[in-house]
Amino acid sequence: MGDVRVSLPRSVRAKCRMRRDDEVEELTGPYGPFTLTERAIQRLWAAGEVRSPLPSLSGALIEVVRPGDWNRGAGPDFKGAELLVNEVRMRGDVEIHLRCGDWQAHGHDLDPAYDGVALHAVLMPELRHVRTTSGRTPEAVLLLPHLPRDLEDLAEEDALLELRGRAREFVRDLRSAAADFPSALREGAARRFTRKSGHAAVRLNELGWEGACHALVVESLGAGGNRAPMSELAMDLTPQAMELLGLDALYMRKCGRWRLRGLRPAGHPYRRLAQYLELNRARPCWREALLRWADRSHASPEVARRELHEEVLARSMPEGRADTMAVDALLPLLHATGRPLDRLWMEWPPGNRPDEVDEARRLLGFVGRARNWEVQGLIGLMREASPR
């Protein structure tokens, strides 16, 4: 399958404009290039999700007592933050940038409104000191090592949050931009599958079949904001080590790293880790069974799905979670071994998905059982329609 790039016209993306000084960064993640906005990092800071203490460029240790009030207008991003700098309490503003050079690029060194900045927080490396118009040098910290989850997961969540309550507007723009919108969705889904199978191929080359199965499945259990700590657990511990450690100790290894705010009970990482341990207990050889399942001739996608749930995954988790695991991890990984499963992936039930996607699908007139190409295509196009 080719790497088909689908892009909405500028007129579609222009409907959701961000404030003028909100920067974006084009990055490359495990699933390919993606766009991250400064706004996404601001959201993490506002929610108190940036882990401290933060070592500053001057050598100080900075604890965030209160992130400050998020300022959506002109001036510093956060007003009146409370910080502990080497255990000395201080109050001041916080400015967040993707790159350190944005301080001068935005003219903050010439703007008195930024004289009260006590902390300059920068996402990407190459940190250096900056100055205000009064000659002060704010403390400077690098945020990347202290984020609670990976950047691509954060970028996708940010795009969907920006479209919350705007599904009707998105669908109207999609219809006007693409007369054959089902083909646009299929192409968008194909692009996502190419990225997912490419990511799986890298893991397969690095870890071998059993290691890649373990890493990708555990990583997929972190969908919804906990992909990074799940991935770390998988890289640190084999399935056997996880079983020996036990559920409580396994969960506590990442205590403070889990993102729990806004999670539904079914998405709690403790519950998802329990499901993975149950899978390994009920089907110790599920990785070998997965290969046998892939090599079998199935009467239909429905039969293939039932056999995967029963014979490979041992009904160890709810159907929605099992389907999400199949489309995010299992089918792309099998495809990376040379088994052509792209068509099966397209027709597979999409599993758990954001409410915004279901609303857009309904407004587009899709009825009946959702197919993966519909949902994956919508997620991809929603990301492209996110403000740039």
Residues 124 and 195 in one domain: no
114 phi, psi to nearest 5 deg: -100, 10
Residues 83 and 124 in one domain: yes
Residues 298 and 190 in one domain: yes
Is 380 within 8 Å of 5 (Cβ atoms)? no
73 phi, psi to nearest 5 deg: -105, -155
User: Is residue 244 a part of any domain in this protein?
Assistant: yes
Q: Which two three-digit tokens encode residue 26?
A: 């084009």
Tens digit of each residue's pLDDT (9 = 90 or more) over 161-180: 766 777 888 888 888 887 78
pLDDT of residue 150: 64
pLDDT of residue 19: 35
CA distance 248 to 89: 36
**In this structure, how many other beta carbons lie within 10 angstroms of the beta carbon of residue 97?**
23
Identity at 286, one-letter amino acid code: W
Residues 237 and 367 in one domain: yes
Tens digit of each residue's pLDDT (9 = 90 or more) over 28-83: 444 445 567 888 889 889 888 788 899 999 999 999 999 999 998 889 999 999 99
Residues 307 and 221 in one domain: yes
pLDDT of residue 299: 80
pLDDT band, very low/low/confident/very high, at 26 (cuts 50, 70, 90):
very low
User: Is residue 306 a part of any domain in this protein?
Assistant: yes
User: Is residue 368 a part of any domain in this protein?
Assistant: yes
Interior angle at CA 341, CA 335 and CA 344, nearest 5: 145
pLDDT of residue 145: 84
Tens digit of each residue's pLDDT (9 = 90 or more) over 345-364: 999 999 988 888 899 999 99
Interior angle at CA 296, CA 290 and CA 302, nearest 5: 85
User: Is residue 6 a part of any domain in this protein?
Assistant: no
Q: 359: Cβ–Cβ under 8 A, 6 or more apart, which residues?
A: 167
Quick one: average pLDDT of 137-145? 92
pLDDT band, very low/low/confident/very high, at 260 (cuts 50, 70, 90):
confident
pLDDT band, very low/low/confident/very high, at 158 (cuts 50, 70, 90):
confident
pLDDT of residue 141: 95
pLDDT of residue 33: 53
User: Is residue 105 a part of any domain in this protein?
Assistant: yes
Residues 140 and 171 in one domain: no
- Least-confidence region, from 99-113, 264-278, 369-383: 369-383
Is 163 within 8 Å of 1 (Cβ atoms)? no
Tens digit of each residue's pLDDT (9 = 90 or more) over 180-194: 889 999 998 998 899
User: Is residue 156 a part of any domain in this protein?
Assistant: no
**In the Cβ-directed half-sphere of 111, how many Cα atoms lie within 13 Å?**
13
Identity at 151, one-letter amino acid code: L
Mean pLDDT of the chain: 85
CA distance 267 to 254: 16
Tens digit of each residue's pLDDT (9 = 90 or more) over 297-309: 888 899 999 999 9
Quick one: average pLDDT of 323-351? 95
Instruction: Specify the DSSP class assigned to residue 206.
Output: H
Residues 352 and 237 in one domain: yes
User: Is residue 329 a part of any domain in this protein?
Assistant: yes
Q: What percent of the chain has pLDDT over 90?
A: 58
Is 329 within 8 Å of 204 (Cβ atoms)? no
Residues 286 and 174 in one domain: yes
CA distance 311 to 214: 18
Of 318, 311, 319, 323, give the one whose Cα is nearest residue 286.
311
User: Is residue 31 a part of any domain in this protein?
Assistant: no
Residue range(s) defining the domain that contains residue 321: 163-385
Per DSSP (E only), the strands in the chain are 24-29, 32-37, 54-55, 61-66, 69-70, 78-85, 88-97, 117-122, 139-142
- Considering only residues 252 and 232, tell me which one the structure prediction assigns the higher pLDDT: 252
pLDDT of residue 344: 96
Residues 359 and 247 in one domain: yes
Residues 45 and 173 in one domain: no
Residues 188 and 306 in one domain: yes
Is 196 within 8 Å of 188 (Cβ atoms)? no
Residues 168 and 47 in one domain: no
**In this structure, how many other beta carbons lie within 10 angstroms of the beta carbon of residue 16?**
17
139 phi, psi to nearest 5 deg: -60, 145
How many domains does one find in the chain? 2
Pairing of strands 78-85, 117-122: unpaired
Q: What ranges in 237-285 are assigned the alpha helix state H?
A: 239-245, 247-252, 269-282
Is 268 within 8 Å of 251 (Cβ atoms)? no
Secondary structure class of 275 (helix, strand, coil): helix
Is 37 within 8 Å of 130 (Cβ atoms)? no
- Considering only residues 223 and 205, tell me which one the structure prediction assigns the higher pLDDT: 205
Q: Identify any residues that bridge with 54 across adjacent strands, giving them in sequence order.
A: 62
Say how far residue 275 (Cα) sits from the centre of its chain.
21
Tokens 């949050």 -> residue: 161
Task: Give the domain-ending residue among 119, 146, 173.
Answer: 146
Which helix (DSSP H) or strand (DSSP E) does residue 38 occupy? helix 38-46
